[in-house]
């Protein structure tokens, strides 16, 4: 009888996952997706009250979830928390900040705040989780939520674009360095996703027109659009994928 190949599992049973920026939006959706797939999820963000509510709701579904207060821009505290609560088999870093405006009007404090979280914070968080895995002799999947703006420019988004381009760069370098340990590092790059934080953009008719013209599938993204991709990259179904980006952009960057 012919021996048929077996599809790798998308299940995450027995895996421990850390999801930062989990108190709302994309981070919340990613946490729910990983928990539904069987992972024991630690949800982290600055707003502990929001996290505790989410953890309670996830537990009601029969999933494993623990709330952990964390500010990714505080490198020392983040590294200490990962050391204390890890090692984590999966990281999804959805913590991010945007302060949009014309580049000629960029304030130094805005540049610093966005860079400290989106670039420096992401770098050291990813490194901390990888260090825990390597010291424990375990493989893992580390995922940074990047953006389509890591591949294109955007109106009033010079600082944000710069930080996301940086994430793509160190993702590739990490993947090269840590591949020997079985630690995979990738990004997910969404287009505009409808969340509480992006509603201000969708109230601007000019911005909506620009977005709708760019997204070839003809609709704005929803948080559910991120849930399948994050489970895929976290699971053994993507076992040979590292150092790359999964663009969830509705065709924006196809031009």
What ranges in 94-196 are assigned the alpha helix state H? 108-115, 122-136, 158-178
Q: What sections of the chain are H helices per DSSP?
A: 25-36, 48-60, 75-85, 108-115, 122-136, 158-178, 199-202, 205-214, 227-234
Give per-residue pLDDT as tens, 224-245.
Answer: 999 999 999 999 999 999 999 9
The reported pLDDT for the residue numbered 83 is 98
- pTM of the shown model: 0.96
Residues labelled as active-site residues: 160
67: Cβ–Cβ under 8 A, 6 or more apart, which residues? 42, 43, 44, 48, 51, 52, 54, 55
How many C-beta atoms lie closer than 10 Å to residue 86's C-beta? Answer: 19
Q: Residue 19 and residue 143: Cα distance in Å, rounded?
A: 9
Rounded CA-CA distance 249/67 in Å is 30
Domains of the chain: 16-254 (3.40.50.720)
As a whole-number percent, the residues of the chain with pLDDT over 90 amount to: 90
What whole-number distance in Å separates Cα of residue 82 and Cα of residue 10?
A: 25
pLDDT band for 197, please (50, 70, 90 cuts): confident
**How far is Cα of residue 143 from the mean position of the Cα atoms in its chain?**
6
d(CA 141, CA 167): 16
Higher pLDDT, 1 or 222: 222
Q: Does residue 198 have a pLDDT over 90? A: no
Give the Å distances, CA to CA, from 224 to 49, 115, 154, 212.
23, 27, 24, 19
The answer to whether the CB of 106 falls within 8 A of the CB of 158 is: yes
Give the mean model confidence (pLDDT) for residues 196-218. 87
Give the burial string for 90-124 (b: 16+ CB within 10 Å, else e).
Answer: bbbbbbbbbebeeeeeeeeebeeebbbbbbbbbbb
Per-residue pLDDT tens digits for 93-128: 999 999 999 999 999 999 999 999 999 999 999 999
pLDDT in tens, 67-90: 999 999 999 999 999 999 999 999
């Amino acid at each position: 009888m012919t021996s048929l190949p077996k599809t790798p599992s998308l299940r995450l049973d027995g895996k421990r996952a850390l999801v930062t920026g989990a108190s709302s939006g994309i981070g919340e959706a990613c946490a729910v997706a990983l928990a539904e797939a069987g992972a024991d999820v630690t949800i982290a963000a600055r707003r502990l009250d929001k996290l505790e509510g989410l953890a309670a709701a996830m537990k009601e579904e029969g999933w494993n979830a623990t709330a952990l207060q964390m500010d990714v821009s505080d490198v020392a505290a983040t590294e200490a928390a990962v050391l204390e609560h890890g090692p984590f088999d999966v990281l999804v870093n959805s913590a991010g900040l945007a302060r949009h405006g014309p580049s000629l009007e960029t304030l130094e404090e805005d540049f610093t705040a966005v860079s400290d979280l989106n670039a420096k914070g992401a770098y050291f968080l990813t490194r901390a989780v990888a260090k825990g895995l390597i010291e424990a002799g375990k493989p893992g999947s580390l995922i940074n939520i990047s953006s389509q703006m890591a591949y294109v420019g955007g109106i009033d988004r010079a600082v944000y674009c710069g930080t996301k381009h940086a994430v793509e760069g160190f993702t590739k370098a990490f993947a090269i360095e840590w591949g020997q340990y079985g630690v995979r590092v990738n990004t997910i790059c969404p287009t505009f996703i409808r969340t509480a934080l992006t509603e201000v953009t969708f109230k601007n008719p000019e911005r909506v027109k620009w977005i709708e013209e760019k997204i070839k599938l003809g609709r704005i993204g929803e948080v559910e659009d991120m849930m399948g991709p994050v489970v895929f990259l976290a699971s053994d179904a993507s076992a040979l994928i590292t150092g790359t980006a999964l663009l969830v952009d509705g065709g924006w960057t196809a031009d």
